[in-house]
Each structure stands twice: as structure tokens, then as C-alpha cells.
Amino acid sequence: MRKLRKRIHLPADAEVIDIAASEEFASSNPLVQEQVETLQAIQEYNKALPKSRKVKDALPEITTNNIGATKQIRRDFKKGTVEMVTKYHQVGIVDGCVKSELSDDKYSLASK
């Protein structure tokens, strides 16, 4: 059992890299705000398509992380139309915020 424990621990001279703070080792996931903007652009593109091209040329929603979707049904009684509108919003503080005078930690609620 002792051999296994020795293998798990890092050596004393091991270098720890903070991936969130480093530009060199950036995450492969895009920022949440970029994902929201992409989803909104897809939604606008699909809405602008003519009716004859909506089935063939409509873009599917992309797979995202930490984004919530709120669906709302809008009815126009004068025109007799029903439309489902999707609004996207960030869930939690994932990418961090701007550091403030109150806190140096960009993931703190005070930095929002």
C-alpha cells in the first residue's frame, strides 16, 4: 500500500500551472459569453430564413456548457400566430469576472 501512495504524490519540485490564469495554457472551451452570442446568432439566422428553406438550411443548436435556456411562448391574437422564443443566459460564475477593489479573486461574488 505504501508504494501506491508514493506514486500518487507529486515530487517536491513539481510545477503547478494555473490554467485559468495562464494565456499559454488556455482552455479549449470558449467563454460562456461567446457561446451565448453564437446561440443567438444561430437563432437569428434560422429566423431570417425563408419558409421554403427553413427545413433544409436551418442550423441546429450547438452543445454548450453552463448556459440555461428559457423558452417563452408569444401569441399575437390579431395575426393569429404563435411563436416560441428561446432566451439564453449564463448559469453561475464560470469564467470569472473582473477583479475589483473589494476582492482580488475574480471568482468571488464581490468581483461581479
| pLDDT tens digits along 50-101 | 989 888 889 998 888 888 899 999 999 999 999 888 999 888 766 656 566 6
Q: Which of 2-6, 9-13, 44-48 has the highest mean pLDDT?
A: 44-48
> Does some domain include residue 17?
no
> Does some domain include residue 73?
yes
Please report the pLDDT score of residue 27 as a whole number: 56
> Does some domain include residue 107?
yes
What are the Cα distances from residue 89, in Å, to 4, 27, 33?
45, 21, 9
Query: If you count them, how many residues does the chain have?
Result: 112
User: What residue type is 42 in one-letter code?
Assistant: I
Please report the pLDDT score of residue 33 as a whole number: 82
- Structural domain span for residue 44: 28-111
> Does some domain include residue 53?
yes
Specify the number of domains making up the chain.
1
- Residues contacting 55, CB < 8 A, separation 6+: none
> Does some domain include residue 39?
yes
User: What residue type is 3 in one-letter code?
Assistant: K
User: What residue type is 89 in one-letter code?
Assistant: H
- Residues contacting 45, CB < 8 A, separation 6+: 59
Which residues are 90's β-sheet partners? 67
> Does some domain include residue 38?
yes
Cell of 46: 434560422
> Does some domain include residue 40?
yes
> Does some domain include residue 16?
no
Kindly report the pTM of this predicted structure. Answer: 0.58
